Amino acid sequence: MTNEDKAHLKKLLEQEIAAADQTIERLKEASQAVAPDNALGRLTRMETMGDQQMSKAKLSKMQQRRLELKNALGKLPNPSFGLCNACKNPLPVERLLAVPEACVCVPCLNKLQKKIQKR
């Protein structure tokens, strides 16, 4: 991975983290509890509570993604960044641009998924 690739990836990671931060703030607001004194009908209140639960699930996933992105950004300066954790071959730059937090190559990922499916 060239220094230019790393600089491009760093910029991409920073943008993804900023976007995740914005989404997290929006989802925090959407997952706030519905006050019982709100003048909502019974069905509308149930729908709102369902939406609240969906927002909480999305929030959890987005917080996990943000953590993975931050970890990738922190590992970027390491010489081992961009190497597959399983086979130690370089990850294609295209893969890192598409999935910046990737730590295994596609062939190794497929092998791992097949192992999991056999269980």
**Is the pLDDT reported for residue 36 higher than 70?**
no
Ramachandran angles phi, psi of 93, nearest 5°: -60, -35
**What single-letter DSSP state applies at residue 33?**
P
Determine the Cα–Cα distance for residues 24 and 20; give it in Å rounded to an integer. 6
pTM reported for the whole predicted model: 0.77
Residues 75-99 have pLDDT tens digits of: 999 988 899 999 999 999 889 888 8
Range of the domain at 65: 3-118
Instruction: Count CB atoms within 10 A of the CB of residue 119.
Output: 4
Please report, for the domain that includes residue 104, its CATH number.
Answer: 1.20.120.910
Number of domains in the chain: 1
